[in-house]
Amino acid sequence: MEFSAQQIADYLKGKVVGNPEIKVSNFSKIEVGEPGTLTFLSNPKYTDYIYTTKASVVLVNDDFEPTKEVQATLIKVANSYDALASLLTLVDSVKPKKSGVSSLACISEKATIGENPYIGAYSVIEAGAKIGNNVQIYPQVYVGDNVQIGDNVILYPGVKIYKECVVGNNCIIHAGAVIGADGFGFAPTEDGRYDKIPQIGIVRIMDDVEVGANTTIDRSTMGATVIGQGVKLDNLVQIAHNVEVGDNTVMAALTGVAGSSKIGKHCMFGGQAGVVGHLSIADNSVMGARCAVTNNIKTPNGFYHGYPHMDAHQYQKAIACFRNFPSFRRDLMDLQKQVKELQEKLNNIK
């Protein structure tokens, strides 16, 4: 489908600068833009590309003012990144959705399936499972006994949801994710072995959550491991047993949260960040990449880096000192040498 710049601007409530009749039928990155495509400029690091891109239309923020001629037609909007997301959502919504139940799927007679499902080949849905309306279950998904799945959920290939776990409405769980595996609970014995502690709780995922590929969320020892509404987990994230993740928190790849920690709302975790067990983290806390939280964070709105975690501004100062350690060492050794020489001269005078 083709859309003119003016049609797109009308949809986004934006303003056209350039040819309003030029048409686009696809998207592209600004640095490799091609004629007939739409791109966007949000990050200032990419500003130079707007003068060389071959894309026909570029979404820009309202305050963008070119310093030289731009060949593309511009659409000025309040936030170009949000506007792009809106367009991509629109395009995705009109794509045909899979439907129907494969004859190769294995569905228990005691399972309940909602309206308009898609269930792919070799998927297994066990007894007592309740599947909502408009759910898409791709091939080789496993849904265990008494699992509850809400409406408009997508389970991509190879997702495994263990018994009795709950997934809310409008959730997306990507390939290979495992929901409800046993938490890492073992009790040491006198003879040096470890006895397994049964994990009899569940995982409860609230509405509008997205779980990345190969992410694991462990069931609780008792009660529930809870993933709050609107949470977004990247690929390869580990959420341990009894953890609670507050609403609208986001975690980048390789983040790990140890057992029984409680993460506040609207928190952000960079890649490879970690949280030790039994901690509480206040709302709106931001952890940079590889940050390791080792103590409770009681004050909201903080920004942290490092291991162990510290205030980001203090961390930057500490890193600046660390980088200068070799020169500090040389200066210290020179100073020690000078002190020694002075001491020897004083001893000779005596």
The tokens for 205 are: 């995922």
The tokens for 172 are: 């997306």
The tokens for 6 are: 């003016």
Q: How far apart are CA 255 and CA 304, in angstroms?
A: 15
The tokens for 313 are: 């501004």
Query: Is-catalytic flag, 278?
Result: no
Residue 181 pairs in a beta bridge with 218
How crowded is residue 316: how many other Cβ atoms within 10 Å of its Cβ? 12
Local structure of 181: helix, strand or coil: strand
CA distances from 67 to 48, 50, 64 (A): 10, 11, 10
Choosing from 174, 241, 305, 309, which is the catalytic residue?
241
**DSSP secondary structure string for all residues of 199-238:** ---EEEE-TT-EE-TT-EEEPPSSSEEEE-TT-EE-TT-E
Contact 152, 134 (CB under 8 A): yes
Residue 99, exposed/middle/buried by CB under 10 A (0-12, 13-18, 19+)?
Answer: exposed
Q: How far apart are CA 186 and CA 168, in angstroms?
A: 30
Residue 245 pairs in a beta bridge with 227, 263
Run of H or E including 207: none
Nearest-CA neighbor of 218 among 161, 262, 271, 263?
A: 161
Enumerate the active-site residues: 241
